[in-house]
């Protein structure tokens, strides 16, 4: 049977609305780890992407591997989700309907799990798989902002649960991540808006800045990816960290700071693997282990 001819397509307006909703949800779900500490400079903050910026590799890949070892989902389920995402990227398909189909497939196996279960396992997995993969140079940059009395937020497409764990372990202010709803502490399998990626990151930072009284022109942002330009372009001090080739070129053309903490071999290897491995893992699994909507 061929494809349906009356299939509804997602319009650009719908995509923009989903990005805005994802950003607003991420900002609303953000929790301040150091809530009792009054920042010395309340109008300035720094925003850090996570994958390949703070953590070596894709955090969602480390999380997914740890969850798989704990029988959170089957090999068949994770491979099916990752394959769909990898296929769409390889053939250059950007059809929103295809993306929605892959996301729905990935969400199928998280539905029914409890929020507390993912949070507890996420803490264990961070210690065993991610703690030793924090880039020391990026950690030092974040600490510099903290020492100057500024707040520091992680902004990532990874589930907000794992983002909060990383922020807490590093002593940062808080985290923005992909948000999905839960009912009575159980995941429904529905995202709030969409993944916190690209334009949605910019929306999240803008919403958080409004809520927290930040002056974005005095803020800084750090990322390795050209896809994060919506976030980087919002602030007065953008910085490319371990950048992909497109971001490095853009940063140089615009006089942005560039910091690269990789060896030459690591940098070359990252350029070859990032789109395939991290992309498939983030697209196929981030939705699958995403996340809850914070009520209240």
> Residues 260-281: pLDDT tens digits?
999 754 554 544 444 444 444 4
This prediction's pTM: 0.76
Radius of gyration of the chain (CA): 18
Query: What was the pLDDT predicted at 98?
Result: 55
Res 202 pLDDT > 90: yes
For residues 44 and 220, give the distance between their C-alpha atoms in angstroms, rounded to a whole number: 8
> Residues 31-45: pLDDT tens digits?
544 444 567 899 999
Span 210-230, average pLDDT: 96
What is the set of active-site residues?
49, 51
Span 104-115, average pLDDT: 69
Both tokens of residue 37?
């500490």
Domains of the chain, each with CATH number or no CATH? 17-289 (3.40.50.1000)
Residues in the chain: 296
Which segments within 49-196 are labelled E, that is strand?
Answer: 151-159, 174-178, 180-183, 186-191
Share the mean pLDDT of the chain.
77
For residues 8 and 28, give the distance between their C-alpha atoms in angstroms, rounded to a whole number: 30
Q: Running DSSP on this structure, what letter comes out for residue 257?
A: E
3 state SS of 159:
strand
240: β partners: 223, 258
> Residues 124-143: pLDDT tens digits?
999 999 999 999 999 999 99
Query: What was the pLDDT predicted at 61?
Result: 82
Given pLDDT bands bounded at 50, 70 and 90, which one contains residue 67?
confident
Res 62 pLDDT > 50: yes
């Amino acid at each position: 049977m061929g494809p349906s001819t009356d299939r509804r397509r997602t319009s650009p307006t719908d995509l923009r609305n989903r990005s805005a909703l994802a950003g607003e949800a991420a900002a609303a779900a953000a929790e301040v780890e150091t809530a009792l500490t009054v920042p010395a400079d309340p109008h300035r903050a720094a925003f850090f992407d996570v994958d390949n910026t703070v953590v070596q590799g894709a955090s969602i890949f480390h999380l997914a591997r740890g969850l798989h070892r704990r029988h959170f989902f089957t090999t068949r389920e994770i491979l099916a989700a990752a394959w769909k995402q990898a296929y769409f990227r390889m053939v250059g398909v950007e059809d929103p309907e295809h993306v929605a189909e892959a996301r729905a497939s990935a969400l199928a196996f998280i539905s029914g799990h409890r929020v507390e279960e993912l949070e507890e396992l996420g803490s264990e997995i961070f210690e065993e798989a991610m703690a030793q993969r924090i880039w020391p140079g990026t950690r030092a940059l974040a600490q510099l902002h903290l020492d100057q009395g500024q707040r520091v937020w992680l902004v990532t497409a990874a589930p907000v649960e794992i983002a909060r764990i990383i922020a807490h372990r590093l002593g940062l202010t808080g985290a923005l991540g992909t948000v999905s709803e839960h009912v009575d502490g159980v995941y429904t399998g529905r995202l709030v808006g969409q993944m916190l990626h690209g334009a949605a990151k910019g929306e999240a930072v803008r919403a958080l800045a409004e809520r927290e009284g930040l002056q974005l022109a005095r803020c800084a942002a750090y990322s390795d990816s050209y896809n994060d330009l919506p976030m980087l372009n919002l602030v007065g001090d953008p910085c490319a960290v371990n950048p992909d080739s497109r971001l490095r070129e853009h940063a140089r053309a615009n006089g942005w700071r560039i910091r690269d903490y990789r060896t030459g071999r690591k940098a070359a290897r990252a350029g070859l693997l990032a789109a395939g491995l991290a992309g498939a893992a983030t697209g196929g699994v981030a939705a699958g282990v995403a996340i809850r909507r914070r009520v209240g």
